[in-house]
């Protein structure tokens, strides 16, 4: 028997502002358009909202779902809509079926921050838990 996989394979987007990954497809071939996302279990996008709060958007490639982990429990519909827009634009170039990744935003219960400056730590630790196949509340 082969070695059992203990971690999920994740693609971490390096651009922390949605405007960095939402581009005009006709003008540029953005680095995130050319990647075969089917090679990954999870797509992870740490996002800085309003220049002062970090959340983690996670797209599951297999289940075609999008989840946003927010330690303040805010409204993340606009971020979800931008991600869906990105995936639709990407589908003009890459025909892998992922443009229909989700039609509904999931916002599961997650640990809440107690201090005004710990949201980045929560986003990173949530990502670590998900990659290690642990529930994010295990922080």
Domain count, the chain: 1
More confident residue, 122 or 108: 122
Q: 138: helix, coil or strand?
A: helix
- Domain holding 49: CATH number? 3.40.395.10
For 58-114, write each residue's pLDDT tens digit.
Answer: 999 888 889 999 999 889 998 888 888 888 877 877 777 777 776 678 777 777 888
Q: Which residues pair with 46 in a beta bridge?
A: 56
H, E, C per residue of 48-62: EECCCEEEEEEEECC
In a domain, 39, yes or no: yes
Which pLDDT score, from 0 to 100, does residue 42 have?
A: 92
Domain encompassing residue 92: 10-131
Cβ atoms < 10 Å from Cβ of 139: 14
Which pLDDT score, from 0 to 100, does residue 117 have?
A: 83
Mean pLDDT across the chain = 79
Cβ atoms < 10 Å from Cβ of 7: 11
In the chain, % of residues over pLDDT 70: 79
pTM of the model: 0.82
Lowest mean pLDDT among 9-13, 43-47, 77-81: 9-13
In a domain, 2, yes or no: no
In a domain, 27, yes or no: yes
Lowest mean pLDDT among 3-7, 55-59, 121-125: 3-7
Which pLDDT score, from 0 to 100, does residue 19 have?
A: 58
70 and 77 Cβ atoms separated by less than 8 Å = no
In a domain, 4, yes or no: no
């Amino acid at each position: 028997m082969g070695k059992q996989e203990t971690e999920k394979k994740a693609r971490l987007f390096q651009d922390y502002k949605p405007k960095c990954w939402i581009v005009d497809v006709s003008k540029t071939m953005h680095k995130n358009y050319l990647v075969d996302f089917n090679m990954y279990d999870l797509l992870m996008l740490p996002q800085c909202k309003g220049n002062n709060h970090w959340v983690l958007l996670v797209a599951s490639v297999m289940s075609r779902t999008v989840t946003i982990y927010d330690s303040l429990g805010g409204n993340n519909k606009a971020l979800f809509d931008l991600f869906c827009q990105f995936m639709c634009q990407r589908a003009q170039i890459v025909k892998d079926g992922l443009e229909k990744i989700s039609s509904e935003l999931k916002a599961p219960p997650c640990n809440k921050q107690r201090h005004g400056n710990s949201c980045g730590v929560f986003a990173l630790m949530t990502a670590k838990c998900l990659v290690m196949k642990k529930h994010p509340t295990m922080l």
